[in-house]
Amino acid sequence: MSNDDCAIWASLPVPAFLIDENDNITDVNSAGEGFLNSSTKTVSGHPVWEQISVDTPIEEAFLKARQNSTPLFVNDVDVGSVNRAPLQCTMQIAPLAGREGHMILLITPRELAGRMTQSHSVKSAAQSAIGMAEMLAHEIKNPLAGITGAAQLLSMNLSADDLELTDLIVAESRRIVKLLEQVEQFGNLSPPDKKAVNIHDVLDRARRSALLGFGAHMKIIEDYDPSLPLAYGDPDQLLQVVLNLLKNASEAADPKGGTIRIHSYFEHSFRLRRSDGTGQSLPLQVEIIDDGPGLPEKIKDDIFDPFVSGRENGTGLGLALVSKIISDHDGWISVTSVPGRTVFRLSLPRVPRAAKPKE
């Protein structure tokens, strides 16, 4: 391989394998080593189907692809290896140009593919659920006002014991009204008014307001890249996003305290490719990292859906709102979480270059 080829090979973000005419592995890129949990040296020269197990009979199709020199795509198969449990993957197999009988095999775990398209499904799921909830919110508020009023009237002639009950009716009704108002606020969200934003100003405002309120028990560390260019977004909505993330981290932490790190950095190569084929560069990265217990296992795949909450009094709207705002900004949000380290990462576009004036 030339130096360029080596660089391309090493940076391919999906597991890739080169296979010779006898079905032995001749090379594995670094993502492939990660997938196999084993080194190139260990697996080179070994039959590929001993190292990689696939839950469908693939050998024959593979042979055909080699004989006919045609690529082969296999969707949704469980692919495992000696050292790891099977994962649902898509496999792409193609003859290696210029080398008779040699093949290249790419394996894309569904996790990876899923992550790239998730924002769309999240958006539409959120929108339909929220449309429904908004309608309900509107319908429920009127009768609820009637119930509260009736309870208050009743309470005028009651003994202390019974008064407790009417107070309960009033208090619980208020709680429902508050929840409904939150749902309505969600529906009222206007499209972002995008302009050049210094994201550090937003982060600073969020940090200060967190420390004065819900995050008073937390230590919030700023870890900013001061050379970050301006972002393109709605500062108020982005503030809401950061506040929601800081609030979640503060609520997940031990009541005695915890640490949140706000990390900003530039990643030149981060691009998002959408399912419609368009792409966008999202080089500004902001991570909100906390050292709390991590996402609850039961809900960790659904946290961006509305009404999914792991907290007793949570409404589950915080992250749904975050997801909606970020997707309205054509940005991206991802999360990784293990106990002791939860990272929410926002990727945002920079301000577009001013259009050149016409000559």
According to the binding rule CB under 6 A, does residue 249 interact with ligand ATP? yes
Q: Hey, which residues between 250 and 289 contact ligand ATP (CB under 6 A)? A: 252
Which of the listed partners (Mg ion, ligand ATP, none) does 249 bind, with a CB threshold of 5 to 8 Å by partner kind?
ligand ATP
DSSP H helices, 156-258, are: 160-187, 199-212, 235-252
Buried b (16+ CB within 10 A) or exposed e, 287-303: bbbbbbbbbeeeeeeeb
Which range of residues in 195-203, 272-280, 308-316, 346-354 is near ligand ATP by CB under 6 A? 308-316
The residue among 215 and 331 lying less far from ligand ATP, judged by its C-beta, is 215
- CB of 217 vs Mg ion, minimal distance in Å: 16
279 in Cβ contact with 316 (< 8 Å) = no
C-alpha of 149 from chain center:
44
Binding test (CB under 5 A) with Mg ion, winner from 318, 320, 325, 337: 318
The residue among 228 and 322 lying less far from Mg ion, judged by its C-beta, is 322
According to the binding rule CB under 5 A, does residue 248 interact with Mg ion? yes
The residue among 248 and 347 lying less far from Mg ion, judged by its C-beta, is 248
> Which residue spans within 130-281 are E strands per DSSP?
195-197, 218-223, 231-233, 258-266, 271-273, 279-281
Q: Which of 119, 115, 107, 117 is nearest to 13 (CA)?
A: 107
- What Å distances lie between residue 283 and 11, 30, 38, 86, 268, CA to CA? 18, 24, 32, 33, 5
109 in Cβ contact with 282 (< 8 Å) = no
Distance CA 263, CA 222 (A): 7
Which of the listed partners (Mg ion, ligand ATP, none) does 342 bind, with a CB threshold of 5 to 8 Å by partner kind?
ligand ATP
Distance CA 140, CA 122 (A): 26
Distance CA 29, CA 15 (A): 7
According to the binding rule CB under 5 A, does residue 323 interact with Mg ion? no
Q: Hey, which residues between 313 and 352 contact ligand ATP (CB under 6 A)? A: 314-320, 342
According to the binding rule CB under 5 A, does residue 215 interact with Mg ion? no
The residue among 50 and 222 lying less far from ligand ATP, judged by its C-beta, is 222
Which of the listed partners (ligand ATP, Mg ion, none) does 346 bind, with a CB threshold of 5 to 8 Å by partner kind?
none
- Binding residues vs ligand ATP (CB under 6 A): 244, 248-249, 252, 290, 292, 294-296, 303, 308-311, 314-320, 342
The site for Mg ion (CB under 5 A) is made up of 248, 318
